[in-house]
Amino acid sequence: MAGHRADFQYEIYLNGMTGAVPRLPTDLTRLEELVERRLGPGPVGYVAGSAGSGSTAAANRAALDRRRIVPRMLRDVHQRDLSVEVLGRTLPAPLALAPVGVLSIMHPDAESAAARAAAAQGVPFVLSSASSTPMEQVAEAMGDGERWFQLYWAKDREVTKSFLDRAKASGFTALLVTLDTPLLAWRPRDLDQAYLPFLHGVGTANYFTDPAFRAGLAKPVHEDPNAAVMHFVGMFADPAKTWPDLAFLRENWDGPIVLKGILHPDDARLAADAGMDGVVVSNHGGRQVAGSIAAADALPRVAEAVGDRLTVLFDSGVRTGDDVFKALALGARSVLVGRPYAYGLGLDGQAGVEHVIRCLLAEFDLTLALTGHAAPGTVSGDDLETGTA
Ligand SMILES: Cc1cc2nc3c(=O)[nH]c(=O)nc-3n(C[C@H](O)[C@H](O)[C@H](O)COP(=O)(O)O)c2cc1C
Ligand SMILES: O=C(O)C(=O)c1ccccc1
């Protein structure tokens, strides 16, 4: 993508000459409230919600906020290049859209709109296994955009194999295997609203269209949709899996494999030993283990343990360009962002997701420039101070 990402800032100012303000706020932390007004408490509760009393989601923010950037001056930052090497490819910027299931609760165009936005802005889109739209259809919407597939590693080997084959045939290059959700956690907001979209069949599109999944049903999906949903609930994840099981994925996927949900440095070492290519340091946006370590606090230790062997990615709590900067300084090669783009989608479809990406990248570019960096590669722990207010 040509030009400085900060050009978006000038575009907004220039539009302001005719009195035109942006359709959505440029402070992305304001989107949740707006989308709640638009869509009501059910869908937003599901997306915004987290595990337990919300302590992990709060800790994710606190761990980023606690770290402060120490800017450097007079370092010639007039020309900047945001590109980074990730999993053997050059990406235009250190940002990807995290896998978020059931996106049709935000917007009818769901994953296809988000994927088109990612492709238009040149950032990878990670398609969730729990997509509302079959992967083949999303892949088609993406054109030549970078496609990564997130695997919920099903109990049923045939279903897993079939997903891998379909993802490969649909042009997905990297595989992110999510390990932190062998069960859905205790999420009071969903419990109190009795709101779980996939119990209504939302987010089951990849399964209901899958021949191996359908082979396990007594009756076709349309004849007994409730039985199909229960079959999905019973097999979409598998708490019995252990590290040696990764050999099956390694044998059945040619491209890079990244383990998502790693927080302990020893697990990161096990990932490297198992022949994996990367990890996402993540606590699922605080949605799984209440009371768990903040993702940003886990990041430096994981990066130190395996940074020379694996690609280290990061998510959970990224809301601004300076958060992206801080994650890089703590050892990540690139970040993923979840809820903000889901809200952008809910408010304005594809354009809303593009808005979120453009804001994050413009603000990140400006943060680089204003702290004395012309590229992400020079950002390091030396740029951060911890514990000052
Ligand atoms: C509504 C919602 C659905 C999600 N679905 C998935 C999923 O299907 N697979 C997955 O690996 N992670 C899923 N995640 C977790 C995200 O990939 C990511 O780890 C998290 O949202 C990052 O935190 P953030 O929202 O603070 O940016 C989901 C998150 C949300 C908010
Ligand atoms: O809600 C989630 O965090 C999530 O990962 C998920 C799991 C299953 C179906 C849809 C989303």
Ligand 1 centroid–CA 40 distance in Å is 20
Ligand 1 centroid–CA 101 distance in Å is 7
User: Does residue 284 have an active-site annotation?
Assistant: yes
Contact in structure between 335 and 324 (CB atoms under 8 Å): yes
110: left (phi over 0), alpha (psi -120 to 50) or beta: left
Q: What is the pLDDT of residue 53?
A: 98
User: Which residues are CB-contacts of 38 (< 8 A; sequence separation ≥ 6)?
Assistant: 346, 347
Atom of ligand 1 nearest to the CA of 128: 8
Tell me the pLDDT band of 387, cut-offs 50, 70 and 90.
low
pLDDT above 90 coverage of the chain, percent: 97
Report how far residue 13's alpha carbon sits from residue 298's, in angstroms, rounded to the nearest whole number: 38
Report how far residue 378's alpha carbon sits from residue 301's, in angstroms, rounded to the nearest whole number: 19
- Among 245, 229, 242, 315, smallest CA distance to 278 is for 315
Q: What is the pLDDT of residue 1?
A: 44
The 10s digit of each residue's pLDDT in 355-368 is 999 999 999 999 99
The 10s digit of each residue's pLDDT in 308-323 is 999 999 999 999 999 9
Q: What is the pLDDT of residue 386?
A: 86
The 10s digit of each residue's pLDDT in 106-136 is 999 999 999 999 999 999 999 999 999 999 9
Across residues 88-92, what is the average pLDDT? 97
Considering only CA atoms, which residue is closest to atom 1 of ligand 2? 101
Ligand 1 centroid–CA 227 distance in Å is 26
Ligand sitting nearest the alpha carbon of 46: 1
Domains observed in the chain: 25-69+80-374 (3.20.20.70)
Considering only CA atoms, which residue is closest to atom 20 of ligand 1? 285
Report how far residue 316's alpha carbon sits from residue 287's, in angstroms, rounded to the nearest whole number: 9
Across residues 224-243, what is the average pLDDT? 98
Does the Cβ of 339 fall within 6 Å of ligand 2?
no
Please provide the DSSP assignment of 294-319 as one string.
PHHHHHHHHHHHHTTTSEEEE-SS--
Residues with C-beta less than 6 Å from any ligand 1 atom: 46-47, 98-101, 128, 130, 150, 178, 260, 282, 284-285, 287, 315-318, 337-339, 342
Does the Cβ of 208 fall within 6 Å of ligand 2?
no
Across residues 69-92, what is the average pLDDT? 98
The 10s digit of each residue's pLDDT in 259-310 is 999 999 999 999 999 999 999 999 999 999 999 999 999 999 999 999 999 9
- Supply the angle between the helices 31-39 and 41-48 in degrees, to the nearest 10: 150
Tell me the pLDDT band of 2, cut-offs 50, 70 and 90.
very low
Asked if residue 179 has pLDDT above 70, the reply is yes
